[in-house]
Amino acid sequence: MANAPGTLPPLPRIGLNFQVPDQHQPISWLGYGPHENYPDRRTSACFLPLAAAAGRDDHTVHFPDGNGLRCDTKRWTGGRWHVAGDFHFSVQPYSTAQLMETDHWHRMKPENGVWIALDAQHMGIGGDDSWTPSVLQQWLLLETQWQYQLTIHFPNNNRGRQPPTLQA
C-alpha cells in the first residue's frame, strides 16, 4: 500500500555518502567552522578556511549518532580528494548504517576508512528549548525534488580524462 502524498516524514539530509580509505591526513575546507554546525545551529561558527583531523571530530553523546557537520562549504580537500560546489559535509569513522543499528558506543566496530557525506541540504537538529525538542518548520526538508551539483576531483587514476561532475 502506498502512502498518501505528503504523509512521509521529512528527509534528514539530501546528498551523497561514500567510504574512502583513511588517508591519515587532515582535511581542509572553506566554509563554516571550526566546530560542528548545522543549518539551525551555526551562529557561533565563522566562515573561513579551516583544517581538522579527518574522521576524528566525533564527540560522544549518549547513543551513537552522526555528528560533525560543517555547513555552507565551497571547497573541501581530504588527502588527494577535492570537492567544489555549495554543500554541507561531514567525515565520520562509522557508516550511517552502523550508527543507526547500534545502541551503545562500546558496541561500535571499527571500519576500514572514513565515511564522507556531501549534502545539498541537511535538516536542523532542533532542541530550541527543553519542552519542544522537534525541529522548527523552517529547518525541515519538505521539498519533493532536489538538485545540486558538485565537482569531485578523484585521485589521479583517470588517465588524463576530466574529473567527473556528479549531479544528485
Nearest of 105, 95, 85 to residue 55 by alpha carbon: 95
Lookup result for grid cell 502512502: 3
Q: Is 8 a member of any domain?
A: no
Q: Are 115 and 19 in contact (CB under 8 A)?
A: yes
d(CA 20, CA 38): 24
Predicted confidence at residue 128, as pLDDT, reads 74
Helix (H) or strand (E) holding 166: strand 165-167
Is 93 among the domain residues? yes
The most confident of the ranges 8-12, 34-38, 110-114 is 34-38
Domain with 43 in it: 17-124+146-167
pTM of the model: 0.83
Q: Which tens digit of pLDDT belongs to each residue from 74-100?
A: 999 988 889 999 999 999 899 999 999
Instruction: Give the per-residue pLDDT at 55.
Output: 65
**CA-based nearest residue to 166, from 156, 151, 145:** 151
Backbone angles phi, psi at 154, to 5 degrees: -85, 165
In a domain, 139, yes or no: no
Query: What percent of the chain is modeled with pLDDT above 90?
Result: 48
Determine, yes or no, domain membership for 11: no
The x, y and z cell numbers of residue 71, run together, are: 555547513
Q: How many whole angstroms separate alpha carbon 93 and alpha carbon 58? A: 8
**Distance separating alpha carbons of residues 23 and 166, to the nearest angstrom:** 23
Count of domains in the chain? 1
**Is 57 among the domain residues?**
yes
- Kindly state the DSSP code that residue 132 receives in the 8-state scheme: B
97-150 pLDDT, tens digit per residue, is 999 999 988 898 989 888 999 999 999 988 777 777 688 889 999 988 889 999
Would residue 134 count as lying in a domain? no
Q: What is the pLDDT of residue 61?
A: 66
Residue 110 lies in a domain: yes
Q: What is the bridge-based pairing of β-strands 13-20 and 114-122? A: antiparallel
**Computed from CA positions of residues 27, 30, 31, 33, in that sequence, does the dihedral angle turn out positive or negative?**
positive
Going through 44-123 in order, the beta strands assigned E by DSSP cover: 46-53, 70-78, 81-92, 114-122
Task: Output the domain CATH number for residue 28.
Answer: 2.70.98.10
